[in-house]
Structure 1
């Protein structure tokens, strides 16, 4: 018996030492051009699928049929995913076809996955596949829209894809637009190629409530926000990726451009059906209650007056705080919740918002956001 154990121990030692020598020698090829052996591919795929299925169990899935969420997800897919996974036309960059493993064909793989599995993969990525994790792990509100879009992706043709990604925006060079002063100003190339798909060339945010309206916004605020995204200070898996590629000159140009545009009255550009508070549909928001919170705050909840920093009339900016007038209700509500959860970040002034909004209750958030979204029409 002892002799058998000794033989097994020696054989195990030989295997370990031999394996170490093979690894150290460098003879094992790691070149992507050779691909995987069939058994290696099967083992890795099986391990991946079982891991995702196990770890995604119990994830609560929200309503993913909201068209605004689908469009929001389409915007990120275009800027962050399509370079590897392609568009519905099936055409992908040549380099992608040389990856090992190759990014999967989403038209085939998505129908085989549950929403919670897609969420898990988008959020955490997959090791050793080139699939990255979501840049901001606290922003599940950005990840679910991507899942909502992916669920629609297998049935899309290229024209339908383009409508979701850009709406009515057409990527044409040498565009110009009328500024708030009535002058014709050129549309920056970056707006045509990137920003316009979500925020619109006119800065109206496509009338959905998921993309903020930038027209007429404080130039200083736009600049410090883009700089915060650029330096990973403001948390957004979507905007960090876009702003990280912007030069200081481009940030200044984009900020200046959108600040010069004419903000439209809310009822002309805001989709009312898309901005009704989804958490309290039976209790409509109150303009009057929101006005009181904006003007006076809520003293016994340590909530200061919003209007001390965010004016209720349009006037020249004297600081880098944003104007909230006419902004989408849903977007404003989301920002307050992100501040409360400490998952927003921003410029050096962002921390001031924590103390300001921590005392607000959900119905109070709804009312004050509704108030600002309706200004200056009342």
Structure 2
């Protein structure tokens, strides 16, 4: 009996010293995610439902130039909303929405989208993409090898092989519409969008010409569907 009493005291002490905070943290995270799901699906307090433009599962609408949000880093998504709200990034649809959101709503909706599965298998794509393409395939070459004569590093150095994204800061590019990618490169070049971490994208886009922008945008837009022999493109993904 004494031994059982000891273990009960030990378990209770462990629960309150370490276990309870963990459980509370998990419950809080789940609550935040559910709040984000609600905002994404139906909107909230003057905030338009994200699904209206970005799809029911955050898959985006490529034909309209609306990017996917599913699987992108929480910190990256939050920063973009903050930039829209502060005028450091401009879009006639997103700017008023971001300005109407408070910090709790931004936290909730970005947490929700970050935990959704990406529309493609990142491991399969990064394993099968050709990292040494023909040099005359301009988009593929710039994305994977860069143009060091003009101080343009390869996109994959920050965005990962196949443009699958790296961590919370560098978003996935694979499968984004060519229209969207080209618009963002142009916005950086024209200083209409915050230059990003270490001001990298502002500087890189400033060195790119129109043909390079178009080629890179077209290249990433074809991924992962164009990677032959891979299972990177999930069934139903757009």
TM-score, with length taken from structure 1: 0.42
Provide the residue aligned with 2:172 in structure 1. 323
CA distance in 1, matches of 2:75, 2:185: 21
Shift of 1:336: 0.4
CA contact (8 A) 2:182 2:217 kept: yes
Shift of 1:231: 2.4
CA distance in 1, matches of 2:171, 2:165: 12
CA contact (8 A) 2:72 2:171 kept: yes
CA contact (8 A) 1:229 1:236 kept: yes
2:80 is equivalent to residue 231 of structure 1: no
Distance 1:350 1:253, change over 3 A: farther
**How big is the alpha-carbon RMSD for the aligned residues of Structure 1 and Structure 2?**
2.6
Provide the residue aligned with 1:371 in structure 2. 219
CA contact (8 A) 1:221 1:320 kept: yes
CA distance in 2, matches of 1:376, 1:315: 9
TM-score, with length taken from structure 2: 0.65
CA contact (8 A) 1:203 1:213 kept: yes
2:147 is equivalent to residue 303 of structure 1: no
**Aligned residues, how many?**
174
Listed as ranges, the gaps of 5+ residues in structure 1 are: 1-184, 267-285
CA distance in 2, matches of 1:248, 1:359: 35
Provide the residue aligned with 2:206 in structure 1. 358
Q: Following superposition, which runs of at least 4 residues in structure 1 exceed 6 angstroms of deviation?
A: none
Distance 1:217 1:318, change over 3 A: closer
Provide the residue aligned with 2:103 in structure 1. 248
Distance 1:207 1:319, change over 3 A: closer
Instruction: Give the alignment partner of residue 222 of structure 1, picking from 77, 87, 90.
Output: 77
CA contact (8 A) 2:159 2:173 kept: yes
CA distance in 2, matches of 1:319, 1:263: 14
Give the match's secondary structure for 2:39: helix
CA contact (8 A) 1:227 1:243 kept: yes
Distance 1:343 1:316, change over 3 A: closer
